[in-house]
Amino acid sequence: METTIAAISTAQASAGISVIRISGDEAITIADRVFRGNNNKKLCEMKGYTCALGGAYADGEKLDECIATVFREPHSYTGENVVEFSCHGGVYVTARVLRAIYDAGAQPAQAGEFTKRAFLNGKLDLIEAEAVMDIISSRSKAGVRAALNIKDGALSKKINNSKDILLNKAAHLNAWADYPEEDIPEVESDELLSALSEVRSDLSRLIDSYDDGRILRDGIDTVIAGKPNVGKSTLMNLLAGYDKSIVTSVAGTTRDIVEESVSLGDIVLNLSDTAGIRETGDEIEQIGVDKAKKRLNSASLLLCVFDASSELTDEDLEIIDMVGDIPSIAVINKCDLTKQPDDSKIKEAFGEVIYMSAKNGDGADKLIETVKRICAVGNINSADALIYNERQRSLTKKTMDSVDEAIEALHIGMTFDAVTVSIEEAVAYLCELTGERVTDEVVDKVFHTFCVGK
């Protein structure tokens, strides 16, 4: 890696401190051109894992006071020489120090380039590198826990275990086929079959974990549906304010879909408050109603809201009919008002019925508890190795298909050559998964999603 790169690794906003990271062969030399230690000590004289207080200078002018931390290769995040400047966290001052570092010889780092170098230098495999980004973007406690666990190698260990078993079998099959005159023990079909079956069930368990991984990573797509005025927006606002942890907020018009991601501790709900579903002659409202129906069909969870203060209407019944087999909770709202309608039809249609008042918050805890139970959040063990993204799922599935072909070939009595081909194919997919054998294109695609400075 001939170039030395630099970027601001903290957020581009005013803060207590900002960290500028420099990585590459020349990192310490370049940093020395900008940094003057208070005790006149040069960074090139310092050991790894040590730091010095001083100033960053350009053309003899002091730009900021900062602390420089020195990491010596290979004991750094990237595996290269690294210097990190901790400056005062002003947007202007940090950018000014970074410019001085560029002027002293560093190149601007591309998105994800530090982590990419860590991968290329063998500090982490591709799965662990992906987990770095997932730690940063996690919006729930359990999500961070799962991503950290993957970063620490939980998933890689499982993948490598399957790979080792397959590699051993492929090596034995090849040796046995290529050197018949050598004293190599015969390949036993039963033993081979049992090893392949073991790998297959491990892979299948991993593929099954993808849904859990997705819930932790992306949250649960939850649609709030109901006829107009039952209290959908009030419920949305109540949930958004719960735990005071709104993550994002994208608002359309009242006739469109309003979306908000809400963190409920262990889990994130991606809430969509849809237009009240009803027959309407208003063309624009009809577009909202159609969108609402579409969104309803793609939801992972439905909160169907009814008004406790009035009788069920045909519009309510139409919504009940639409639910189908989407996991749903009936929310009978406005229970603070006196009139309670006949709820037998609702109880018939929904496995879960919550009585609440979105206006004063009564029943909200029960609703959240039920959401977590229905989505089986409590059953997800974030300490397990979870498949966490589509790349991982698709390669694990391809591996399993190849293992299935090997098992099938054994069953129908094909030659060991055919079995070997399928096993080797499975190994190739696993190597792509961990990044041991992967094209530059795939590597670029993975790191493309990263931010600059990571």
Scanning 7-15, 86-94, 279-287, 332-340 for contacts with ligand GDP by CB under 6 A, the matching segment is 332-340
Interatomic CA distance for residues 384 and 318, integer angstroms = 42
Identified binder of ligand GDP from the candidate list 291, 359, 372, 391, rule CB under 6 A: 359
For residue 370, the minimal CB distance to ligand GDP (Å) is: 17
For residue 308, the minimal CB distance to ligand GDP (Å) is: 8
The site for ligand GDP, by CB under 6 A, has a size of 16
For residue 372, the minimal CB distance to ligand GDP (Å) is: 22
Query: Is the distance from CB of 106 to CB of 24 less than 8 angstroms?
Result: yes
DSSP string, 20-39: EEEESTTHHHHHHHHEEETT
Identified binder of ligand GDP from the candidate list 54, 226, 435, 453, rule CB under 6 A: 226
- Asked if residue 357 binds ligand GDP (CB under 6 A), the reply is yes
* E strand or H helix at 303: strand 301-307
Residue nearest to ligand GDP (CB): 231
- Asked if residue 231 binds ligand GDP (CB under 6 A), the reply is yes
Scanning 129-137, 232-240, 241-249, 421-429 for contacts with ligand GDP by CB under 6 A, the matching segment is 232-240
Interface mask (CB under 6 A) for ligand GDP, residues 180-219, using x and -? ----------------------------------------
Interatomic CA distance for residues 21 and 82, integer angstroms = 7
DSSP string, 43-112: GGGSPTTEEEEEEEEETTEEEEEEEEEEE-TTSSSSSS-EEEEEEEE-HHHHHHHHHHHHHTTPEEPPBT
- Asked if residue 116 binds ligand GDP (CB under 6 A), the reply is no
Identified binder of ligand GDP from the candidate list 23, 333, 382, 389, rule CB under 6 A: 333
For residue 343, the minimal CB distance to ligand GDP (Å) is: 15
Scanning 115-123, 229-237, 293-301, 382-390 for contacts with ligand GDP by CB under 6 A, the matching segment is 229-237
For residue 375, the minimal CB distance to ligand GDP (Å) is: 23
Interatomic CA distance for residues 96 and 101, integer angstroms = 9
- Strand-pairing partners, residue 89, are 15
- Asked if residue 337 binds ligand GDP (CB under 6 A), the reply is yes
Interatomic CA distance for residues 115 and 121, integer angstroms = 10
Identified binder of ligand GDP from the candidate list 89, 153, 228, 265, rule CB under 6 A: 228
- Asked if residue 229 binds ligand GDP (CB under 6 A), the reply is yes
Structure tokens at 153: 């190698």
Q: Give residues with Cβ within 8 angstroms of 244, minimum separation 6.
A: none
Among the listed residues 145, 133, 319, 142, the one whose alpha carbon sits nearest the alpha carbon of residue 223: 319
Burial profile 346-364: b = 16 or more Cβ within 10 angstroms, e = fewer: beebbebbbbbbbbeeebb
Omega before 74 within 30 of 0, i.e. cis: yes
Query: Is the distance from CB of 364 to CB of 336 less than 8 angstroms?
Result: no
Interatomic CA distance for residues 151 and 136, integer angstroms = 12
Q: Residues 165, 170, 175, CA angle at the centre, nearest 5°?
A: 130
For residue 362, the minimal CB distance to ligand GDP (Å) is: 8
- Asked if residue 79 binds ligand GDP (CB under 6 A), the reply is no
For residue 293, the minimal CB distance to ligand GDP (Å) is: 16
Scanning 109-117, 140-148, 198-206, 331-339 for contacts with ligand GDP by CB under 6 A, the matching segment is 331-339
Burial class of residue 6 in the structure, from the number of CB atoms within 10 Å of its CB (0-12 exposed, 13-18 middle, 19+ buried): buried
Query: Is the distance from CB of 258 to CB of 336 less than 8 angstroms?
Result: no
- Asked if residue 336 binds ligand GDP (CB under 6 A), the reply is yes
Interface mask (CB under 6 A) for ligand GDP, residues 271-300, using x and -? -----x------------------------
Q: Give residues with Cβ within 8 angstroms of 24, minimum separation 6.
A: 1, 2, 3, 4, 5, 80, 81, 106
- Asked if residue 140 binds ligand GDP (CB under 6 A), the reply is no
- Asked if residue 358 binds ligand GDP (CB under 6 A), the reply is yes
Identified binder of ligand GDP from the candidate list 21, 163, 334, 398, rule CB under 6 A: 334
- Asked if residue 363 binds ligand GDP (CB under 6 A), the reply is no
Identified binder of ligand GDP from the candidate list 98, 230, 271, 296, rule CB under 6 A: 230
| Residues near ligand GDP (CB under 6 A) | 226, 228-234, 276, 333-334, 336-337, 357-359
